[in-house]
Structure 1
Amino acid sequence: MGMVRMEAGRRALLRSAATALALLLGAAGPALAQTPVKIGVVEGLSGPPAIVDFGESYLQGIKLALEDYKAKGGKTPIELVVYDDEANPQRAVSVVQRLIQNDGVAGVIGTVSSGNVMAFAPVLQRAGVPLIAGPSAATDITTKFIDQKPSFIFRCSMIEKYQIDAILDWAVKNYKKIGLLHSTTGYGNFAAQEATAGLKARGVELVAVEAAAPGVNDLTPQMIKMRDAGADLILHFHESFELPYRPLPRLDYKPTFAGNWGLSSLKVKDIVGVEAIQGTAMGQALDLSDPKAQAFNKRMTEKYGKDYRWPVVAALGYDAGQIMFAAVDKVGKSDPAKLRDAIENIDGVQAISATPAKPFGPNDHECLGQGDIFLGIWKGDTVVPAPK
């Protein structure tokens, strides 16, 4: 009888252990299923003010997109892992390597500096981790990789060539004497070369060309030379967007400026003043006369207050986030290769910017095409599309 009771006890103990294990596994299943998919975000959040303004604005848009994804019942938990690349290419490569090796991200969004993107894009391509670049604007960011099947490099941002083409078409139609001001950074020199070549192709010669280092804080000598050359339009590709405006009252000189999309910054408008910035033109991909864009602008203003600077940059960040998060939801887990495929095939995007519903394809990893970028002009407190 003793042996029978011991055997019965052993069986009961085994049944209890099996039940406990089943309950444990049952409880762990949902927990494991809810492990968030990590998405890396790399932006310039310290360093030169223009870099920070771009980086913070794009990040604001991404964060709002994630809030909306969660509010609309996105089934796959998503966690952002955010790093500041400090506008430094070596730092950018380092944090991207950390995102891949330590954080185990499924995808990456970023960054401001085109040079930083070109430094770390090959790292992501080799690792097979998809990138949605932005707000970097250098023309060839995605085309360098599009023939590497499959390419993991996408972008949701302004594209420099398209921006400059829109500016130059408008410039030669409306102005006779055009000057060029640019910084001596890689970006400034690149934009100057593009603008000079574009004008030459249109049969127009610049009346003056002036350059200034990125750290300069007074452009009076350059503006005097522009005034003396009779430039009525100045192509402006210096990252200190407000500087050329400052000496103008003293010089009795009021040219029109056209240039980088940073000239649409609300911060630049506040520094320069509404009257001084009137008529300034720049590439745009957000029409603030559109009710959807107005609603987005209102939300961002209420959420971020004075820290909200660039509607178009924030809108592109929002749309980059929308695309990435919708693709994650389709895949349902952390799988970079499948995420890449989902990004390339994403459809039905309800973008705030000019990004189309189906932004990408096998041979085009740009969310904006040439026809999506237009010329914007400051009119009152708002940037509006330039008259055609």
Structure 2
Amino acid sequence: MKTSKKFGYSMMAAALFTGAGAFAQDIKIGYNADLSGSGVAELGISGRWAFEAAIEDVNKAGGILGRKVVGVIRDDLGTPPKSIQNMTELIDNEKVAAVVGPANSGNALAWLHIPQQKKIPVVVPIATGTEITTRYAKEAQNYLFRVSMVDREQTALLGAYAAKSTKTQKVAIIADSTGYGQGGTKDATDILALHGIKPVAVEKFGPKDTDITSQLSKIKAAGADTVIVYGLADGTAQVVRSMEKINYQPTTLGAWGNLSSLFPKMTGPALAPNLIMAASTTEDTSAKTKALGERIRKNFPTLTTFPAAAQAYDSVMLIAAAMKQANSTDGPKVAAALENLDSVPGVIKTYSKPFSKANHEGLGVQDFYLARWKGSEVTKYEDDITKSLQPSDLKK
């Protein structure tokens, strides 16, 4: 079968799925994410290989309830229609017991009703849209869980850093004009208000704009010494490049999507470190993260979006733990068990009661920290400000 090369990896054509040849007694877990359609695919690919690594580890430890676990992979091409189709096939045809995915928030929001109606637990390892886990929060059982960086939560960290880093109390916000960027603008504005700061400027840019000097000149004229940027990696890269054009170098903060290798490719190695980003983990965090990173690189040599990999790995481990605790693969029982898990060792952390009836977020702002590009790698970022941040500073 023909292979295609993208983002430095070799992936079998979409017709070949990991689940092929699974026996009836096997427990199937689906993975549905962008693996080839957009810049977000880099995150989806990172998650895919970690998803498979986690299943391999579960099987080495005896599987689940004495049964082998099989991953069923689907590429949603970064589009809602394909993602919806994939979810329907995974649940109705493949009979998966749970799903991990997607990478794109818009795709998740397009198909949330499907697993909710079919009573199939989903753990989202990458997409960050706040509504993903809250839309069905008032239902008798909410089947949507997440192990990723929620927009509001990571903005709380960026806002806390901005409030302490600014010497003039002049902070500005610039975001792309998409729903993602404008949602980030609202979150950043609200969180800065909790710190007693009103942005001196709020600007936006088109996600395909290459010259953002006009908007940045207004921000510079307003005296902002700290700028929060809300955009995907390619858009944020254009912001950083445009800052260089007008000789403007404020403290620049961005969301975790800038962990994509698109960012340093577009800015170049000299400008890439100018952005400080939120992250849930980095490869240099611990022996566990280092080992997973080395393992994923065997399939994905150009891995940069490591948090997506770590989050996908931990998502599988939480599903496996819930099935064991429930002594069942029945959807309602597994979802209820996810809400009552005890201690589950993961790569990012040991999850102690990570979910509850009211909260389906496995990670929170207290788990996040800052990172920046150093050459071709993302490393943890620390300075006097990060060391001084207290839990009370993380307002949300």
Q: Which TM-score applies when normalising by structure 2? A: 0.81
Equivalents in 1 of 2:226, 2:374: separation in Å? Answer: 17
- 1:318 matched residue in structure 2: 313
Judge which range, 286-295 or 250-259, deviates more. 286-295
- 1:45 matched residue in structure 2: 35
* 1:330 Cα offset (Å): 5.2
SS in 2 for 1:367: coil
- 1:383 matched residue in structure 2: 380
Q: Which of 297, 313, 320 is equivalent to 2:293?
A: 297
Runs of 5+ consecutive residues of structure 1 not aligned to the other structure: 1-30
The answer to whether 1:203 aligns with 2:196 is yes
Check 1:273–1:353 CA distance in 2 against 1; reply closer, same or farther (3 A cut): farther
- 1:99 matched residue in structure 2: 90
Q: Which of 362, 377, 381 is equivalent to 2:357?
A: 362
SS in 2 for 1:81: strand
Equivalents in 1 of 2:350, 2:211: separation in Å? Answer: 38
- 1:121 matched residue in structure 2: 112
Runs of 5+ consecutive residues of structure 2 not aligned to the other structure: 1-20, 389-396
**One-letter amino acid matched to 1:39:** I
Q: Which of 212, 220, 226 is equivalent to 1:233?
A: 226
Matched-pair identity in %: 29
* 1:98 Cα offset (Å): 1.9
**One-letter amino acid matched to 2:130:** T
- 1:165 matched residue in structure 2: 156
- 1:352 matched residue in structure 2: 347
Check 1:32–1:354 CA distance in 2 against 1; reply closer, same or farther (3 A cut): closer
1:1-388 superposed matches below 5 A: 35-49=25-39, 51-74=40-63, 75-175=66-166, 176=168, 177-239=170-232, 240=234, 241-278=236-273, 280-286=275-281, 288-306=284-302, 308-329=303-324, 334-354=329-349, 356-378=351-373, 381=377, 382-385=379-382, 386-388=386-388
Equivalents in 2 of 1:345, 1:131: separation in Å? Answer: 16
What is the CA RMSD across the aligned residues, in angstroms?
A: 2.6
**One-letter amino acid matched to 2:319:** M
CA contact (8 A) 1:354 1:368 kept: no
CA contact (8 A) 1:76 1:328 kept: no
* 1:195 Cα offset (Å): 0.9
Equivalents in 1 of 2:137, 2:308: separation in Å? Answer: 24
Q: Which TM-score applies when normalising by structure 1? A: 0.82
**One-letter amino acid matched to 2:190:** A
* 1:302 Cα offset (Å): 4.5
* 1:329 Cα offset (Å): 4.9
CA contact (8 A) 1:263 1:281 kept: no
Judge which range, 151-160 or 220-229, deviates more. 220-229
**One-letter amino acid matched to 1:342:** A
Q: Which has the higher helix share?
A: 1
**One-letter amino acid matched to 2:172:** G
- 2:5 matched residue in structure 1: none
Please list the CA deviations of residues 166-218 of structure 1 after superposition, one character each: whole Å capped at 9, or x if unmatched.
11111011113322111111111111111112223322222222212222233
Equivalents in 1 of 2:207, 2:313: separation in Å? Answer: 29
**One-letter amino acid matched to 1:53:** E
CA contact (8 A) 2:43 2:260 kept: no
Equivalents in 2 of 1:301, 1:226: separation in Å? Answer: 40
* 1:331 Cα offset (Å): 5.8
Equivalents in 1 of 2:237, 2:52: separation in Å? Answer: 28
